[in-house]
Structure 1
Amino acid sequence: MNNSLLFLAMTISCVTAGSYAKADDYVKGTSLRATMLNRGEVIFEKNFDDQKEVDAVMDLRKHTKGTVKDGVMVTIPPSVHGEAPKGARYGKEEFVRSHFKLGGQDYIFSFRVKFLELDREVREKICFIDLGHRWIRLEMTPEGSQLVFQNYILDKRGGRQVMVEDKALKLKYGEWYEGTIEISGNETLFNINGVAFHIKDDLVAKKRETVLAQRFCLDLRGVGYHLDYAAAWKPNGYQRTWEEKRAESN
């Protein structure tokens, strides 16, 4: 089936951000709570108080550098720190790429991050919050955000489909963001600073077998970010209030 027919066949349920909160009036800490799923077993929890927390669970890709300092992981790309090996393929990479190994496709992931202020031009101002490398991702830009499906598995060229978009969530360098991403079966919910993006579709549940598929990825083009919290849990069923919340939002 080609991409155009595939996307026509998809049944999509979208919940817009307005059903939850506005980007500028969320209460600090609320976006770190799960809304859709119950938290089960802890996979890991990092407060970045020690360099040891930058461990095998984390995959700082393409010569990204992460240094724990004053309770945050200061994460910068090789184009800034200039310490990539001479002649390295990604030695001039502008992206910071922090990937977390989760060992499965279903999980709850919470994080708190500040995108560092730019001191130079970059090719494109964008952040990718990604479930299963380049399969389901939230793209944040200064103009707004959108939840995107890009099919790199069924089509190597990656047919791209915007599933949900909202202008309320904007990428602003120098500001803190907190979020919780929930995924179980055919349903996923992104909540970033009180702005929610939801989708329910069989393609969410499709097995993803690429090397980076069972990971949470936080990729930013710029000079880097401060990450002061990252944690993941296995899901333990849906919250009893979720069906009602979903119905109210449709």
Structure 2
Amino acid sequence: MDKPLILVTNDDGITAPGLRALIKTMKDIGDVIVVAPDSPQSGMGHAITIDNTLYSKKVVIDTEQGAPAEYSCSGTPADCVKLALQEILDRKPDICVSGINHGSNSSINVIYSGTMSAAIEAGIEGVPAIGFSLCDYSWDANFEPALRAVKKIVSQALSYGIPKGTVLNVNIPKSDIEPKGIKVCRQARANWKEKFDKRTSPTGKDYYWLTGEFELLDKGEDTDEWALANGYVSVVPTQFDLTAHHIIPQINNWSLNES
């Protein structure tokens, strides 16, 4: 049987070690093609390029025999997936995997994540998709202990399928040993207590650095944050229909059509 076609992308850029680790792992599962940003795009969320030109070119980073075809893209992670599906690939991929991100995309971080937005874009287009993140922001992060879990999750997703309208948000704890296991979780309730560090440039202009602290508001033991804190890989099924369906009856009780 033909091997599955796997589209690999990320938001840290095409040379990022996390992406290189993911490519290596996916080569054991199927035929890989890579379309990734030509520069870091962290925190871009689901931004797309609409007011500028978009460029893509074939690049050679891995010179080993059997290395996959790779394309760099001047746009965002979502742009990369759009371009891959519409212009680069000659058939629909069996799965899209995004990452491995340098840093957590658990809890509320999923909203801002370029890694997850690439996966969501694939999901919107009907391609099963998974975003992978390691809870280590270092460029020299050790991805090896995570790769067995990554391979297992992708293999299972290919075997069982991912329900339409859903993508998987996978986060992996920072560790020099393999995780204890894999837990299917809900997204923890949390937010960022943010502030801007105001400074003045040598020319007298004010500028700002965004800073903040992560505030976990959820003590549940069924959340992604609990799983990660206790040495487990978290898998959160994430939907991109943002409708709060359970609230519709409540809003229908408002007097919206009364004069």
TM-score range, shorter chain: under 0.3
Greater radius of gyration (CA) = 2
Q: Give the number of the structure whose residues are more often strand, by fraction.
A: 1
Q: Which has the higher contact order (CA 8 A, sep 6+)?
A: 1
Length-normalised TM-score, structure 2: 0.26
